[in-house]
Amino acid sequence: MKKKIVLLYNLNRWLEEYEADFDSELTINCLHNSINKNYNWIKIEANRNISKWLDNINELKPDIVFNVTEMFYWASRESFVPSLLEQLEIKYTWPGPLELMNSHNKSLTKLILNNNQNILMPKWYIIKNTEDLNKILLHDLDFPYICKLNSEWSSMWMDEDCIVYNKNNLSIQINKLLSKYNSNILIEKYVDWRDLSITFIEWLWIMEPIEYLYPDSNIYDYKLKTKDNNQVIVKIAENLDENIINNFLKISKDILDILDINWYCRIDFRLDKNNNIYFLELNSQVSFHPDGAFIWWAKTKWYSFDDVVNHIISYSLTNEKRVSNYWVKNIF
């Protein structure tokens, strides 16, 4: 008898800014087509009527929930559904609540990783209010810096103006953010040159770096991640010697182990002109968009969309958490 799978998701209807993290109809349909080949499946939208869809899941008694939810409110929203499912003893595809909570908070992730000397990070500050801003303005700052929301994905709000080159620009951008969002602001030394990313999937692969190119912009900003995503070029990072690639993989291993990342993730880096690798952030809840970086890289390794989805389901059905560094043993 086929296993019963519930696909639990948030749908992006482009009605609110925060929906940029939600999945498109195209992504949901691709997941449906893939899951439907091997399993009995039911899709459920995780809307604000939580009791209704939760009762639905309890009645269905699925073998596993394929969870791609982002949810609606505050910095802990990604961890809400996994936490709920764990307390109800309903099996789901990871990542789990702890790694989602940690990675969604960029500054917390940096603090956790801070004691590892192999992991370089740009100098950064957290600003909670205008008092914090005034204190930071007293520092001798080595510009440029980049301003971003500490607990948001999809580069929400970010555009070319978020790279600041003096204290006046910094003050203007921070005040804009503080007035619009109820969120801490992260300012981080801007690392110029190459925008690179590593993808990890448990018991399948960790991949050498991919690179994002956006010819008319300095950063992969909100507009490029949403409306103008077709202007972004994703490709295997070229002109990296073996030592640099190995360094990427070793740094990624340290990050995965320290943060105890389970199942899959994407790690974002910047490579400067001296080949120094700077960790920026880790994304635990990845996008399954068929043309997104996570799936795109799989295709370069001759894995199809179906291969990725069904690997995650089959592995999640038989394992509770990551118990080995199999992928490391197969690389080093």
Task: Kindly report whether the peptide bond that precedes residue 144 is cis, defined as omega within 30 degrees of 0.
Answer: yes
Number of domains in the chain: 3
Per DSSP, helices labelled H in 189-229 are: 222-225
Domain assignment of residue 114, yes or no: no
Q: Say yes or no: 10 and 78 in one domain.
A: yes
The average pLDDT across 270-278 equals 95
* Planar angle of CA 260, 263, 264, nearest 5 degrees: 95
Residues 89 and 215 in one domain: no
Q: Same domain, yes or no, for 43 and 79?
A: yes
Give me the pLDDT at residue 154, please. 52
Instruction: Give domain status of residue 261, yes or no.
Output: yes
Please check whether residue 63 is in contact with residue 89, taking contact to mean a CB–CB distance below 8 angstroms. Answer: no
Residue 102 within any structural domain of the chain: no
Does one domain contain both 205 and 323? yes
Within 8 A by CB and 6+ apart from 259, the residues are 99, 102, 103, 109, 112, 113, 282
Listed ranges 51-60, 153-162, 178-187, 288-297; the one with the highest mean pLDDT: 51-60
Mean pLDDT computed over every residue of the chain: 86
Residue 105, CA distances (Å) to 124, 318, 321 in order: 14, 30, 22
Alpha helices of 214-322 — where are they, by DSSP H? Answer: 222-225, 242-259, 293-300, 305-318
Last-in-domain residue among 137, 169, 189: 189
**Reported pTM:** 0.88
Asked whether residue 39 is assigned to any structural domain, the reply reads yes
Q: What integer is the mean pLDDT of 156-182?
A: 86
Position 324 scores a pLDDT of 45
CATH code for position 175:
3.30.1490.20
Q: Select from 189, 218, 235 the last residue of a domain.
A: 189
The last residue of one of the domains, among 144, 167, 189, is 189
Residue 149 domain boundaries:
123-189
pLDDT one-digit tens code per residue, 56-88:
999 999 999 999 999 988 778 899 999 999 999
Based on the fold, state whether residues 176 and 200 are members of the same structural domain: no
Q: What CATH number is given to the structural domain containing 58?
A: 3.40.50.20
Looking at residue 217, which CATH number applies to its domain?
Answer: 3.30.470.20
Give the residues across from 268 on adjacent strands: 197, 281
> What tens digit of pLDDT does each residue of 92-118 get?
998 889 888 888 899 999 999 998 888
H-assigned helices in the chain: 25-36, 50-60, 77-87, 97-104, 106-113, 130-136, 167-180, 222-225, 242-259, 293-300, 305-318, 326-329
Where residue 291 falls among pLDDT bands split at 50, 70, 90? confident
Tell how far CA 150 is from the center of its chain: 13
Mean pLDDT on 238-258: 90
Same domain as 286, residue 200: yes
Q: Is 50 exceeded by the pLDDT of residue 223?
A: yes
SS3 content of the chain, % helix, strand, coil (to 5): 40, 20, 40
Quote the Cα angle for 8-13-19, to 5°. 70
- 199 plus 177 within the same structural domain: no
Q: According to the model, what pLDDT value does residue 165 have?
A: 95
State yes or no: pLDDT of 50 exceeds 70: yes
